[in-house]
């Protein structure tokens, strides 16, 4: 799955998972349906939200080394 994720991916994990080419993820005797079903099963077993404490770690990292480029393109008149 990791090999199918674009290098500069900015989509939410579930949006990206929907757009994956599951036929390229299938391996050995597992079909793309088998792989997708297993992904959905595993997804139910993990945390999909973050605590404020965890977000603050990212905020501190950003403060130490802020990104200078905005994600939004500048509007031209």
Q: What is the pLDDT of residues 24-44, one digit of tens each?
A: 999 999 999 999 999 999 999
Using the Cα atoms of residue 23, residue 29, residue 33 and residue 38 in order, give the sign of their dihedral: negative
Mean pLDDT for all residues in the chain: 88
Q: Which two tokens mark 44?
A: 């139910």
Q: What is the DSSP string of the chain?
A: -GGGS-TT--S-HHHHHHHS-HHHH--TT--HHHHHHHHHHHHTTS--S--HHHHHHHHHHHHHS---S-SSPPP--
% the chain with pLDDT above 70: 88
- 38: how many CB neighbours lie within 10 A of its CB? 11
> What is the pTM (predicted TM-score) of this model?
0.63
pLDDT of 68 higher than 90: no
% the chain with pLDDT above 90: 61
Q: How confident is the model at residue 70 (pLDDT cuts 50, 70, 90)?
A: low
């Amino acid at each position: 799955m990791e090999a199918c994720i674009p290098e500069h991916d900015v989509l939410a994990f579930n949006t990206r998972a929907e757009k994956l080419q599951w036929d390229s993820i299938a391996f050995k005797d597992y079909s793309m349906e088998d792989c997708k079903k297993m992904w959905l099963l595993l997804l139910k077993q993990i945390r999909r939200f973050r605590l404020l404490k965890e977000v603050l770690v990212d905020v501190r990292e950003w403060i130490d080394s802020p990104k200078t480029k905005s994600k939004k393109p500048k509007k031209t008149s």
